[in-house]
């Protein structure tokens, strides 16, 4: 029946949207603490998944041990990245950090395959492959698990920024590095914390998406894939990326189900960017983003 098809598309779109939101929160973490956009977030997801899959497939690590190695790698890597590359940029124009992340993205896209190889690897995190069928609803287990993981960690990060002292301090650092230092906030410490948290989020996203689609260099494209989610919801809003992810996920699913069969495919891939352009035209700071007014 038509309503059943629409219901199935909507539910699966919502599940995918929550998985998008998990990656998108990495953009928010960096933006909230540095006021810059991390264009290497997709590459973080890729490199985290490659490390875990490489440990499991190439060296025979149990999946729990491989995930632990991946977590340690992302913490050390992002801490070193912040200390060596990004810390000297504190107080400098935001565009300097943005350009550094673009260069980092290109470097990681080449370094990952160089170390672990370019072939596509499976990433088994223990989620069964058999589809879940509840009445008229057909779902993929990894989508359900991924959505559950996303909801849990998004709630944790939302509480962290709104209620914890460290989260409030990170928001203050984003407003102004210089004023925060004058008020006694250790900007360097919170700068490092933001990048470490972005690495942890990338690992979670890499586990979920790597299990769903396999691990290879194409995973880096997830960074640009979720960028419309960030723009739609607002660069500085955890709630925004959740809402943006749900909207993008549902629109993609509806486009794939209703429009792609009529035109031969392809609309699912560019629908998010059409929404992003519309949002930039009429509400450039996003649904839940904070409008910034500058007096000249």
Q: Is the CA virtual torsion 117, 217, 154, 292 positive or negative?
A: positive
Please provide the average confidence, as pLDDT, over all residues in the chain: 83
pLDDT of residue 74: 93
Give the pLDDT mean for 188-195. 83
Question: Which range among 17-31, 67-81, 83-97, 183-197 has the greatest average pLDDT?
Answer: 67-81
Q: What is the pLDDT of residues 77-114, one digit of tens each?
A: 989 888 887 777 766 777 777 888 888 888 888 877 77
pLDDT of residue 14: 92
pTM above 0.75, yes or no: yes
Give dist(CA 163, CA 174) in Å, integer: 17
DSSP conformation class of 289: P
Give dist(CA 225, CA 262) in Å, integer: 23
Q: What is the pLDDT of residues 144-154, one digit of tens each?
A: 888 898 888 88
Give the pLDDT mean for 246-266. 87
Q: What is the pLDDT of residues 118-129, one digit of tens each?
A: 778 888 888 887
Radius of gyration of the CA atoms of the chain, in A: 19
Instruction: Give the SS3 label for residue 150.
Output: helix
Q: How far, in Å, are 4, 5, 6, 7, 133 from residue 1 at the CA level?
A: 5, 6, 9, 10, 16
Q: Is the CA virtual torsion 165, 43, 176, 86 positive or negative?
A: positive
Is the pLDDT assigned to residue 269 strictly greater than 80? yes
pLDDT of residue 104: 86
pLDDT of residue 192: 84
* 148 or 136, greater pLDDT: 148
pLDDT of residue 293: 54
pLDDT of residue 86: 76
**Closest among 201, 225, 222 to 275, alpha carbons compared:** 225
Looking at the chain, list the stretches that DSSP marks H as alpha helix, in order from N- to C-terminal side: 2-34, 41-59, 63-81, 94-116, 141-163, 165-175, 177-182, 187-213, 222-225, 227-233, 238-254, 260-263, 267-282
Q: How confident is the model at residue 72 (pLDDT cuts 50, 70, 90)?
A: very high
**Closest among 267, 9, 252 to 1, alpha carbons compared:** 9
Tell me the sheet residues that pair with 224: none
Q: How confident is the model at residue 170 (pLDDT cuts 50, 70, 90)?
A: confident
Of the candidate ranges 184-193, 214-223, 271-280, the one whose mean pLDDT is the lowest: 184-193
Give the pLDDT mean for 237-266. 87
What does the block give as tokens for 266? 């392809």
């Amino acid at each position: 029946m038509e309503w059943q098809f629409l219901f199935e598309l909507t539910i699966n779109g919502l599940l995918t949207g929550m998985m998008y939101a998990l990656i998108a929160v990495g953009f928010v973490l960096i933006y909230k603490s540095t006021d810059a956009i991390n264009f290497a977030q997709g590459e973080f997801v890729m490199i985290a998944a490659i490390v875990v899959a490489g440990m499991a497939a190439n060296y025979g690590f149990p999946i729990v041990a491989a995930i632990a190695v991946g977590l340690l790698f992302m913490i050390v890597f992002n801490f070193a990245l912040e200390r060596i590359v990004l810390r000297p940029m504190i107080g400098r124009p935001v565009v300097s950090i943005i350009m550094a992340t673009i260069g980092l993205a290109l470097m990681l896209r080449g370094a990952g395959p160089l170390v672990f190889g370019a072939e596509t690897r499976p990433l088994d995190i223990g989620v069964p492959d058999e589809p879940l069928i509840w009445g008229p609803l057909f779902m993929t287990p990894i989508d359900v698990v991924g959505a559950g993981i996303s909801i849990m960690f998004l709630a944790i990060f939302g509480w962290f920024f709104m209620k914890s002292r460290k989260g409030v301090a990170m928001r203050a650092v984003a407003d102004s590095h210089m004023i925060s230092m004058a008020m006694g906030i250790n900007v360097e410490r919170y700068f490092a914390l933001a990048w470490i948290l972005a690495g942890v989020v990338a690992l979670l996203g890499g586990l979920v998406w790597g299990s769903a689609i396999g691990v290879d260099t194409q995973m880096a494209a997830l960074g640009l894939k979720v960028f419309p989610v960030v723009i739609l919801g607002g660069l500085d809003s955890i709630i925004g990326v959740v809402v943006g992810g749900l909207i993008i996920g549902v629109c993609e699913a509806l486009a794939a189900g209703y429009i792609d069969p009529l035109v031969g495919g392809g609309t699912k891939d560019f629908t998010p960017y059409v929404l992003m352009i519309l949002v930039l035209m009429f509400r450039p700071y996003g649904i839940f983003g904070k409008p910034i007014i500058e007096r000249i």
